[in-house]
Amino acid sequence: AQSVTQPDIHITVSEGASLELRCNYSYGATPYLFWYVQSPGQGLQLLLKYFSGDTLVQGIKGFEAEFKRSQSSFNLRKPSVHWSDAAEYFCAVATSGGSNYKLTFGKGTLLTVNP
């Protein structure tokens, strides 16, 4: 069965510092991968997605993620963090299409940004 692991429960960075959030997946077929962000009291918003092609994908708010098949990873990065990036981040993998389509999420990484 598919699974997603986010090894870091909580990360604290200073404003302006670079950021990398880790995500490892387990899935037998070609993975379709997503990063979502959740601000306090809000729903989830899609940051970016990977389906095929270029392994470095760009998303909204200056985020990017790199797919590494050999490492089963899809890490999220941002070169310079802003205070407004403080939120919880979820990595997800989509399973097969058809009637069995669903998203499986990691447990999330909470990002705190220090001024």
Partner 1 sequence: DAGITQSPRYKITETGRQVTLMCHQTWSHSYMFWYRQDLGHGLRLIYYSAAADITDKGEVPDGYVVSRSKTENFPLTLESATRSQTSVYFCASSVQGARNTEAFFGQGTRLTVV
Q: Which residues bind partner 1 (CB under 8 A)?
A: 6, 32, 34, 36, 41-46, 49, 51, 90, 94-108
* Contact in structure between 64 and 58 (CB atoms under 8 Å): yes
Q: How far is the CB of 92 from partner 1 (least distance, A)?
A: 8
CA angle 28, 78, 32 (to 5 degrees): 20
Q: How far is the CB of 70 from partner 1 (least distance, A)?
A: 21
Q: With respect to partner 1, which residue has the nearer C-beta, 43 or 115?
A: 43
Q: With respect to partner 1, which residue has the nearer C-beta, 93 or 113?
A: 93
Q: With respect to partner 1, which residue has the nearer C-beta, 7 or 16?
A: 7
State the number of CA atoms in the 13 A half-sphere of 49 facing the CB. Answer: 7
Residue 45 to residues 28, 90, 99: CA-CA distances in angstroms?
26, 10, 24
Q: How far is the CB of 97 from partner 1 (least distance, A)?
A: 5
